[in-house]
Structure 1
């Protein structure tokens, strides 16, 4: 019932937002799609990724390049998550053998390499980027309004949430839960550790690729600078703040951080503020949020709230 109310509220909100806030709504939804996958990857597979934005870029450039070469935009959007998942499967085989900070640095290196390649590749527009991308269209209907993309983004969030929920509740999900708590014991019990980690890595990349594909048609312009390393850091902060391994936590974390970034951007662009203020404030707030979460709610906001609710319910039953 709570999910239905939340979905209904999210569906109604775009019709009451002015254009500027509607853009924030769309960017929030795009972040939520990528963070849902990252939360599964870090919370269940135990893999720390600092390169989630690289799969957003792969999805965006896939959709954009297909569109500029005359492929129907709907097919480009459908190809975006598939190509991102395929790329994750190819690079995941060698890098998922790493652990801890080594894996984190490896995923970060992948993003830096990708940005370098895109910046030098003429076929991808180079540093100038791809310009003049068409609006998404299907069946003669063209999505050329912000509210159209707000509805599309909401549908994407619902789709990724349903897929993630189904994955968690499946047999694979049970194996992932065992893998998250005790990898060695899970492997000894017959859980295919490597295959499951690779599966979650590919699913996580597909979610980010879908977000990238929608972003390409919404913005109509792509450049390597659209997917900085800071974006991957944002995704990690969102996942950690909301709660790793929690779908509701990913959605809450994406909402809180996106709104915080918007407030910081507004503050940093006030008259008299230096040009570097937005990036400095962003890094400072990310650091403070991570420190606060690790110190006071190490498992994230949503798991902490659920734990508190369970404790209060137990105390209530005992008192009655």
Structure 2
């Protein structure tokens, strides 16, 4: 009962905020929702399948470019938005089939290489606009309705996030979700129980990519512009930090982590643009703070903010086995 009340309260605040925020705050609000959308997939991938991907930014970019190219080609924006997660999911399925044979840091570096290759290729191709990118992307709209302001995109973003959360919760509560929980505990034990480990890893990898692609599709319509510089490697690291800070394998953890890191990044950007700060300050501050945050979380809250707070509130404390 308390959980439902909390969900309704959060939903009410979410719907009310676009009406009271100014344009600059709405921009942060939209970016926060997009980051949360991707982070839910990262949390699912790392928390259940145990796979570390440093290439979620690549699927974010694939979704953005897919929607942008279709919209600029004359297709209805809704078609572009629907195609964005599909294109990202298909790409993940093709890429993941060989890559998911790798584990640990080998997989992380391989997915990072995928993003670097994608950025290099899109910067060279003519139909993607090269390094300049694609400009003049039409506003999102359905029929005669058009999203003409930041508030409309805020509602669109959070509607997309609600869809992502609904799909994730249904997956976790389903029979495959129980298999995923077994997979997260021990791949060897899961395989010995008859669970197709490789297939489930690929499905989760594909689903997380679809979430990133949906976020990318909304992003391209919101900004009206996409380029390789819109999807730096740092953005993939940022999603990892968000998932770890909030708590892996939890939907609320992804939301809390995305909110905390997005607000932190905005604060760092404001600090880095103060008079007298060098031009390289934003990137240096971001990398340094991400490192400090990750080290702090691993040392003091290895499970993440949401599991740690939930444990404190419920009064449950972890105990070491006594073996007596």
Query: TM-score, with normalisation over the residues of structure 2?
Result: 0.96
Q: 2:97 aligns with which of 76, 93, 97?
A: 93
Which residue in the other structure is 1:220 paired with? 224
Which residue in the other structure is 1:171 paired with? 175
Which residue in the other structure is 1:280 paired with? 284
Distance 1:94 1:85 in 2: 15
2:255 is the counterpart of 1:257:
no
Which residue in the other structure is 1:50 paired with? 54
Distance 1:291 1:313 in 2: 22
Q: 2:35 aligns with which of 31, 37, 40?
A: 31
Which residue in the other structure is 1:236 paired with? 240
Distance 2:196 2:311 in 1: 31
2:50 is the counterpart of 1:19:
no
Distance 1:96 1:135 in 2: 37
TM-fit CA distance, 1:303: 1.0
Q: 2:296 aligns with which of 278, 282, 292?
A: 292
Distance 1:135 1:65 in 2: 13
Which residue in the other structure is 1:267 paired with? 271
TM-fit CA distance, 1:121: 0.4
Contact kept? 2:93, 2:202, Cα under 8 Å? yes
Which residue in the other structure is 2:305 paired with? 301
Q: Deviations over 1:214-257 (max 9, x none)?
A: 00000000100000000000000000000010110000000000
Q: 1:209 aligns with which of 203, 208, 213?
A: 213
Q: Deviations over 1:126-171 (max 9, x none)?
A: 0010010000110111111000000001101111011111111111
TM-fit CA distance, 1:311: 2.5
Which residue in the other structure is 1:154 paired with? 158
Q: Deviations over 1:43-66 (max 9, x none)?
A: 000000001010000000000001
TM-fit CA distance, 1:312: 5.3
Contact kept? 2:311, 2:317, Cα under 8 Å? no
SS of residue in 2 equivalent to 1:178:
helix
Aligned counterparts, 1:111-190, within 5 A: 111-190=115-194
Q: 2:88 aligns with which of 84, 91, 94?
A: 84
Distance 1:239 1:312 in 2: 23
Distance 1:171 1:313 in 2: 29
Contact kept? 2:35, 2:239, Cα under 8 Å? yes
